[in-house]
Amino acid sequence: MKSKKKQVVSSAQIIVEGIKVNITYKPNKHSYLRVRDGEIFVTAPFGTPKTATERFIRFNIKWINKKLHSSPKPEGKTQNITEGSHILLWGKPYKIKLIPSDAYSIAFDSETMTALLSVPPSASEANRNDFLRKAYGDELLAAIKSELPKYEEITGFYSSGAAVKYLKSRWGSCSMKTRRLSFNLRLAQYPPECLRMIIVHELCHLSEPNHSRGFYLLMDRHINDRRRCEKLLKSPPGGHDAGDIIEI
């Protein structure tokens, strides 16, 4: 029986449009690309010039940016809105107390860290989720109305307005044509600094439409905790070990 030969590999790193790319060279026929935990990895054949890998990255940059800035997917956490489960508001967990009522309402008690959720007894799980999304949207819109003008003054970039939406794959978006910004209502589940970072992110796009090195330098000029916030937003609300947190 022949023993398997040990595979020889080597590695390198390059920066493309301000993004670090980890390259592993192997005896492959083609290059392969993956995005994992906010990092880019390329497996390339031996002898592949770095310029060729850079072209490969630029060719796939739209897909890469979508992956890097996508919203985290639910990871099997409790999704049923039940008595005793928890929801997050601005990064803080509130224990749900269900109150039978003819109408929907929610109140957050910061002393007892309780979310008093009034719902009709006949409400379905879908109805409860729809109401929670609306409540988060209202919370986020109020915060944006307070924070957006501040950062418009700080950055010198001005939008034509902002909207809150339920977005599946992005935390925010910016229309270069209308200068209107949109924000994912799920940001209300994360600490307030995450919203401020996304506000700066979208405002900077009014000057730099691409995720270039210049774009991130511009962002870092106006906000100092970008990387920490990006790491938080790549995790589920409350982190991977948050227990029974409901993700909307």
For 190-236, write each residue's pLDDT tens digit: 999 999 999 999 999 999 888 888 999 999 999 999 999 999 998 88
pLDDT at 243: 61
For 151-172, write each residue's pLDDT tens digit: 999 999 999 999 999 887 789 9
37 pLDDT more than 80: no
- Residue 145 lies in domain: 86-233
E strands, 101-204, are 105-109, 114-119, 161-165, 172-174, 180-184
Could you tell me if 183 and 218 lie in one domain? yes
Which range is most confident: 14-18, 41-45, 190-194, 212-216? 190-194
Q: 18 near 210, Cβ under 8 Å?
A: no
Could you tell me if 52 and 110 lie in one domain? no
Could you tell me if 114 and 223 lie in one domain? yes
Neighbours of 127 (CB within 10 A): 14
pLDDT at 143: 97
Question: Which 8-state DSSP code applies to residue 156?
Answer: S
pLDDT at 22: 86
Q: 83 near 246, Cβ under 8 Å?
A: no
20 pLDDT more than 80: no
Could you tell me if 129 and 34 lie in one domain? no
Q: Would you say residue 1 lies in a domain?
A: no
- CATH label of the domain that carries residue 96: 3.30.2010.10
Please compute the mean of the pLDDT values over residues 123-147 and round it to a whole number: 93
Could you tell me if 138 and 207 lie in one domain? yes
Could you tell me if 225 and 172 lie in one domain? yes
Q: 109 near 116, Cβ under 8 Å?
A: yes
pLDDT at 70: 59
Could you tell me if 47 and 128 lie in one domain? no
17 pLDDT more than 50: yes
Could you tell me if 106 and 44 lie in one domain? no
Could you tell me if 126 and 186 lie in one domain? yes
Domain end (from 18, 33, 68): 68
Q: Would you say residue 127 lies in a domain?
A: yes
Could you tell me if 99 and 198 lie in one domain? yes
5 pLDDT more than 80: no
pTM equals 0.69
Q: Would you say residue 78 lies in a domain?
A: no
Q: 106 near 135, Cβ under 8 Å?
A: yes
For 81-131, write each residue's pLDDT tens digit: 888 889 999 999 999 999 999 999 999 999 999 999 999 988 888 888 899
Could you tell me if 61 and 126 lie in one domain? no
For 52-89, write each residue's pLDDT tens digit: 888 888 888 888 877 776 544 444 444 678 888 899 99
Could you tell me if 52 and 90 lie in one domain? no
Closest alpha carbon to 73 in 157, 176, 169: 169
Provide the domain count of the chain.
2
Q: Would you say residue 74 lies in a domain?
A: no
Q: Would you say residue 240 lies in a domain?
A: no
